[in-house]
Amino acid sequence: MITSPLRYLWLLPVTMVPQACMGLLPGASEFGPDTAVGFIPAPHILLYYAIFFGFGVLYFDCDDQQGKLGRWWPITLLVTFVVVLPLALDFATGLVGWREQLAPASLHRLLNVLLQVLYTWGATFGLIGAFRALLKRENKTIRYLSDSSYWLYVAHLPLVLLAQMAVRNWQIPAAAKFGLVCVVVTVILLLSYEYLVRYTLVGTMLNGRKTRPAKLLEEVAPTGHVE
């Protein structure tokens, strides 16, 4: 029920519970999960992310050496991004008008929730399979970005808010502001990860213990292996 396609039978309804509460808060987006801007997240947001983290724990315990999860990633990604995502966006916003032709108004909210959840899990499993298939060999750059990603996820929000406030009155296109904020915040967070987080207790909690290159050389015995 973890690596089998039957996982959708329980993952979808479980995830639909918190997803059904999304978009109800003032200023919330019609598509995607709500954003918690305080130190204490709303219960439905906490439950939503807990489901994904919980599934990750269960999957890790499966020791899926054969790569069953995401094995059909080309089909999964194709259906997810070409079919499910456009439908999910339209059932959330009604911009295209498909939802009026496909279902009565009484079912729009239910199908909106279902399609958003299906898109999220489909993209997750499809990308897991894609990365497993396309990145079979160790890549130091990808490994570093993977290790730092959790820190970027945890710490990005206040920096993004500050950056948005800094550029909001600039007379440049919105796309340029978006790109600038993303680049500047990412660079700052990567530098903070390297010099303030990676080799500290926080880094150990996020990704396990890392040894500085200089210290690692000192620990290498004359035989050429690390003691």
Joined together, the tokens standing for residue 140 give: 């130091």
pLDDT tens for each residue of 73-112: 999 999 999 999 999 999 999 989 999 999 999 999 999 9
Buried b (16+ CB within 10 A) or exposed e, 65-91: eeeebbbebeebbebbeeebbebbbbb
Domain boundaries, the chain: 1-136, 137-227
Write out pLDDT tens, residues 183-214: 999 999 999 999 999 999 988 888 888 777 76
pTM score of the predicted model: 0.78
Reduce the DSSP state of residue 137 to 3 states and report it: coil
pLDDT single digits (tens) 29-65: 788 888 877 778 889 999 999 999 999 999 999 888 8
Q: What are phi and psi of 143, to 5 degrees?
A: -60, -45
